[in-house]
Amino acid sequence: MRPHRVRTVRRLARAVVAASAAVATLAFGLTTTSQAANPTLREAAEPTGRFIGTAVNDGLLSNSTYRNIASTEFSSVTAENAMKWESVEPQRGQFNWAGADRLVQFAQQNDQLVYGHTLVWHSQMPDWLENGSFSNSELRTIMTDHVTTQVSRYRGQIPRWDVVNEAFNEDGTFRQSKFYQQLGESYIADSFRAAHAADPSAKLFINDYNVEGVNAKSDGLYRLVQRLLDQGVPIHGVGLQSHLIVGQVPGTLQQNIQRFANLGLEVVITELDIRMQMPADSSKLQRQAQDYRAVANACLAVDGCTGITVWGISDRDSWVPDVFEGQGAACPYDENYQPKPAYEALRAAFVEAGGGDPGDPGDPGDPGTGSCTAVFTVSNRWSTGSVVSVSVRTTQALNTWRVEFDLPSGVTVASGWNGGFSQSGSRVTVTNAPYNGTVSAGGTLSFGFQTSGGAAQDGTAVSLGGQRCAAG
């Protein structure tokens, strides 16, 4: 297994293309920058230096839609459950790494980071630990052995770990977990020391919920972190889970991120979701989008905030309805894996902070792969313009699409429909509109536009997702 993620020169080249496409778009004012570039979330996040992650449910990786979104939209993955103690050591001394290994392998195949979650937590402990009686020294050994075993297994492959999870009560005192009750506060420092010894390159986090704003709980966390730093304990980051409610993003979120960053720590938004009372409606979804954007903006405004992970891809898979009766719709994709306004808002926040990235521009002159067939028809023409309709049949199911082609020199797109249009020189890039991104295998996407400065040519070569289509 290879270490961490490698950035490629190609990505830098893409950023340049993105910038020029965005400029061209603004020049003829057809779309906003984000619509023009239409990058994936991970492409949008890349120039900001932040990762965009998702919790991954191991059982859903066999679903091709889920798998495709997880790999193409996100640059980091967190195991929703597969790395928890009950999953990896269901019987004392008997380890099951299958789910955790699968996720690490998935990430490596897809050039993604893995965010390790979680080592020492009062919840989802195996029965033998939850219900077992151990002397204090035995429990301390069990705990540090567990940390050592798990972090060692993925040494060099998991750059960030939630070492201790949910150690606090709402009033900022320590949660009376088995570890705290028997070992006192020192269980925290010991866990971090064991993790650091097992992988000195990993950044070690303490993670909690309801600590997003400045409040009694985050004050308690802040004081603990200060103490740990004073004692030389190897702690490198704070995870703000961010299980939020629509309309209730704390006004002090950025201030809170900043105060932890000022201690020299990384901050990560580790488990973002924003739930609402069901049924969802368009005004709640719009408000949710604003809230997603506000959270992203708060992170992006602070240098030390290095990434955002959403806690689940789609509303279909979210933990929320199981736990909060009558609430849901908390994720960036809906029940049918369609991107919601929250998705667009998250992406727009990254695009605005760092510049868009439309992906490989492709070359309509390249030999095709046979995965699409395009019909480029000029339905009306005159000396200074034309009307064009384009339809592209795809053999592969799509969640979003990007079509490119070249117009004759001096010819530009004056207006377009059923897509977002941008032009850089003669190259035109068209991305799906919010309502027509999904195309089933064997289905057809279509859009149209009007030119100025001259007419387009019938049968112009077209590429889909950087690959040339056969002429239909």
**Which residues bind to ligand G3I, rule: CB under 6 A?**
80-81, 123-124, 209, 241, 271, 319
> Closest separation between CB of residue 60 and ligand G3I, Å?
10
* CB closer to ligand G3I out of 188 and 411: 188
What is d(CA 164, CA 187) in angstroms, rounded to the nearest whole number? 9
- Residue 415 tokens, joined: 């207006």
* CB closer to ligand G3I out of 236 and 275: 275
CA angle 77, 79, 81 (to 5 degrees): 160
CA dihedral 397, 402, 403, 404 (to 10 degrees): -150
What is d(CA 267, CA 265) in angstroms, rounded to the nearest whole number? 6
CA distances (Å), 17 to each of 111, 166, 365, in order?
A: 21, 43, 18
Cβ distance 276 to 245 under 8 Å?
yes
Residue 185 appears among annotated catalytic residues:
no
> Closest separation between CB of residue 271 and ligand G3I, Å?
5
Full DSSP string of 53-120: EEEE-GGGTTSHHHHHHHHHH-SEEEESSTTSHHHH-SBTTB---HHHHHHHHHHHHTT-EEEEEEEE
By three-state DSSP, how is residue 377 classified?
A: strand
Identity (one letter) of the amino acid at 169? N
CB hemisphere CA count around 422 (13 angstroms): 29
> Closest separation between CB of residue 79 and ligand G3I, Å?
9
* CB closer to ligand G3I out of 50 and 275: 275
- Residue 23 tokens, joined: 């400029």
Full DSSP string of 211-264: -SSSSHHHHHHHHHHHHHHHTT----EEEE--EEETT---TTHHHHHHHHHTTT
> Closest separation between CB of residue 342 and ligand G3I, Å?
18
> Closest separation between CB of residue 220 and ligand G3I, Å?
17
> Closest separation between CB of residue 206 and ligand G3I, Å?
13
* CB closer to ligand G3I out of 333 and 376: 333
Q: Which residues pair with 78 in a beta bridge?
A: 55, 115
* CB closer to ligand G3I out of 43 and 80: 80
* CB closer to ligand G3I out of 273 and 357: 273
Residue 166 appears among annotated catalytic residues:
yes
- Residue 245 tokens, joined: 């409610």
The catalytically annotated residue of 46, 271, 344, 352 is 271
> Closest separation between CB of residue 256 and ligand G3I, Å?
18
* CB closer to ligand G3I out of 288 and 429: 288
- Residue 283 tokens, joined: 């005004």
The catalytically annotated residue of 166, 266, 344, 404 is 166
Those residues with Cβ within 8 angstroms of residue 161's Cβ, 6 or more apart along the chain or in another chain: 115, 116, 117, 118, 119, 151, 195, 199, 202, 203, 204, 205
The residues assigned a catalytic role are 166, 271
